[in-house]
Chains A and B, each alone.
Chain A
C-alpha cells in the first residue's frame, strides 16, 4: 500500500501503467464521439468544410500563381526600353527587344532597376545577320543574347529542353526552326548545342531566333566581327533593349516618365495595359483569398470552442467523476483534446479528399476557362499537393486543439463535486 508523508506525497515507488491509462482515456474519448453522433458529425462537417476550403483554396491559389508566373510572363513584359530612334514593331506581346544597330549602354541597368515602380528587368542584345551564320544561304537570323537569371520572356516559352541547366555554348531555338533539341548547330562556324525549343508565339524574332547567354555570344564575337564587320551591337557592354515588368501597384505612365527623366536618349514602349491590370488585379485577389482563409480558420476555431463548451457542460458529471477517482487536470484536458483533435484531424483529412475530388470534377471547365484567356493552367505537383493536404490536416488538428483547450482547461479547474452536482 502507498504511504503518504505530511504533504500528501506518495512514498512508494510505483510501476508505470501509462500505456493502460492512455489507452483507456483515448478509448473513452473516441467512444464519447460515437455516443454523440449528431454533434460529432456537425463538428466533423464544419472542420471538413473549413479544411477542404483552405486546401482547395491553397492548391488553386498556388496553381494560379504558378500559371500566372508562366502565363503572364509568356504574355510579355509590361514595358520595353530601347535606344531612341529604334523602329519598334508593336505587338501585343513584348517578348524580345528589336533588332537594330542602335544600342544602349549596359551600365544603365543598375540605375534602371532602382527606378520606383520597376519590378524585374531583363536585358537583351539582338544581332541580325543575313550572312550564312547557320550554314544556310540567304537566311536571316536574329542572335539574341539574354541573362538567364533575369529573363522572364524567353525561358517560360520553352516547349522542350534538355534535362540540365542552360550553360555556355547552348542555344535555344525559336518555335519555327527545324533543328532538334540535343542536336549540334553550327553558328558562325562554332558548334553550339540546341538546349531547347520555344513554343510558337507569332512574334517573328521569337519564333525564328537563336537565343543564347551573353557569355555564349561573347565567344562568337571575334568571328562575327571578322565576317560582319565592326557593327555597334558587337561592341562590348552593349544592349539592344531592356524588358521591364512593373512592380505591383505601379502604372506604366509613372514609370515611363521616371525612365525618360533619367535616360533622355531612350524610347519606352508599353505593353498591353489590360494585361498589366489583370495581372496586378489577380495578385490582389489572391491576397484577398488568403485573408478569407485566415478568417475562416479563426471562425471555425471559435465554433469548435463553443461546441466543446456545450459538450463539456453536458459531461460535467463524467469529468467530475474522473477527477474524484484521481484523474489529474492534465489527464482531463488531454482526454478532451484527444477527442477534439481526432474529430477535427479526421474532418481535415476528409475535407482535403473532398476538395481534391471537387478540383478534379471542375478541372476541365477551370482549365478550359483559363486557357481561353491565354493562361496555361499548371496544377501543383503531387508532392506539393500532398504537403498542402498534410498541412491542412495539421491545421484542422490545431483548430481542434485551440478550440477545445480553453473549455477543457476551465472544466479541469473546477472542484470535482461542483462538476458532479451541476449535471444538467
Chain B
C-alpha cells in the first residue's frame, strides 16, 4: 500500500540546513493502522507530509498504491491527493466561511468526481454517519471543537480514499472526545479497509494501532 525508500527532508533555515527526516525506509500493508510516535520536532509531521504528497522530499521516494507520487506533475499529484488520500490535521481545518456540508462536499467538488447533487448527497450520508446530520447547515464557529474534528473526518472520507492520514487529530480535544474520535477512526479503518496512519504524542492511543513507528531525530528507530 505504502512504501517509502530513503526518504529525507531538509529545510533551509537562517542557521543553515536542518534535516528533519533522514533516510527512512518504510512499508505499510493495505488496510493497516499505523501510529507514528515521537517527541516534538522528531520529524513525524514532515514524514506524514511527504507521505501525503504535501511536502516534496529532498531525497527518496514515496509509493502509494504503486504510484510514485512525487514523480507526478503538480496537477496530477493534486488529483491523486484528492482521490486517494484523506487528511485530518492537528488544527481546526474547516473553512470558516463555508457551511459544514459545503466543507465536507468540497473535495468531491474539487475532484469533479460526481455532480454537485451526488457530492452533497454523499456529504449528508457521512455527516449522518458521524452524528453531525443536525449541523449540516451550520458554520464551523457554531459547533464544538470535537464536532469540527468529526466534520474534518467526514471531509477526509468523502472521496473514499485508500489512505487516511491523521496528524495529531485529537491534540486540542478533551479526553472523552479524544477517545470517541479515535474509536470512530479505528472503526472506519476496519469497515472500509482503508489504511490509517496517525501521528500522535499519546502512547496510550498509539498502542491501539496494528503497528507503532517510533521516530527520533528524523530517523525511524523501531
Residues on A lying within 8 angstroms of B by beta carbon are 1-2, 4, 6-10, 12, 14-21, 23-24, 27-28, 31-32, 34-35, 317-318, 320-329, 331, 415-418, 420-421
Contacts and interface: CB of A to CB of B under 8 A. Distances in A.
B164 to A, nearest CB: 13
Interface in B60-115: 65-67, 69, 71-72, 74-84, 87, 89, 91, 93, 95-98, 102, 105-115
Interface stretch (B49-57, B142-150, B179-187, B197-205): B49-57
Contacts of A325: 81-82, 87, 106-107, 110, 155
Contact of A6 (B67, B77, B83): B67
B80 A21 contact: no
B173 interface: no
B160 interface: yes
B119 interface: yes
Interface residues of B, number: 52
A24 B102 contact: yes
Interface of B: 45-46, 49, 52-56, 65-67, 69, 71-72, 74-84, 87, 89, 91, 93, 95-98, 102, 105-116, 118-120, 155, 159-160
4 nearest A-B residue pairs (beta carbon): A326-B82, A20-B116, A31-B97, A417-B55
A28 B81 contact: no
Contact of B72 (A7, A328, A329): A7
B114 A17 contact: yes
Nearest to A23: B116
B97 A14 contact: no
B91 to A, nearest CB: 7
A324 B84 CA distance: 12
A324 to B, nearest CB: 5
Contacts of A417: 46, 49, 54-55
A350 B102 CA distance: 32
Contacts of A14: 111-114
B52 A8 contact: no
Contact of B89 (A20, A21, A28, A420): A420
Contacts, number: 135
Contacts of A331: 110
B149 to A, nearest CB: 14
B109 A418 contact: no
Given A321-B93, A329-B74, A17 B87 contact: no
A17 B113 CA distance: 7
Nearest to A27: B98
12 contacts: A2-B84, A4-B83, A8-B67, A10-B83, A15-B118, A17-B108, A17-B118, A20-B115, A21-B106, A317-B93, A329-B75, A420-B54
B54 A415 contact: yes
Give the secondary structure class of B's interface: helix
A17 B115 contact: yes
Contacts of B118: 15, 17
B54 A329 contact: no
A6 B72 CA distance: 10
B176 to A, nearest CB: 27
Given A6-B67, A15-B115, A321-B93, 18 more contacts: A2-B83, A7-B67, A8-B79, A17-B114, A20-B105, A24-B109, A28-B98, A32-B97, A35-B97, A320-B54, A322-B110, A325-B87, A326-B79, A415-B49, A416-B49, A417-B49, A417-B54, A418-B55
Given A8-B72, A14-B114, A17-B114, A324 B109 contact: no
Contacts of A9: 76
A27 to B, nearest CB: 7
A135 B114 CA distance: 90
Nearest to B116: A20
Nearest to A413: B74
B195 to A, nearest CB: 14
B19 to A, nearest CB: 16
**Most chain B C-beta atoms within 10 Å of own C-beta, residue among A8, A18, A21, A327:** A8
A323 B67 CA distance: 19
A318 B95 contact: yes
B69 A324 contact: no
A10 B91 contact: no
Contacts of B65: 4
Contacts of B102: 24, 27
Contacts of A322: 110
Contact of B84 (A4, A7, A418): A4
B110 to A, nearest CB: 5
A12 B79 CA distance: 12
B87 A324 contact: yes
Contacts of A328: 74-75, 78-79, 110
B78 A327 contact: yes
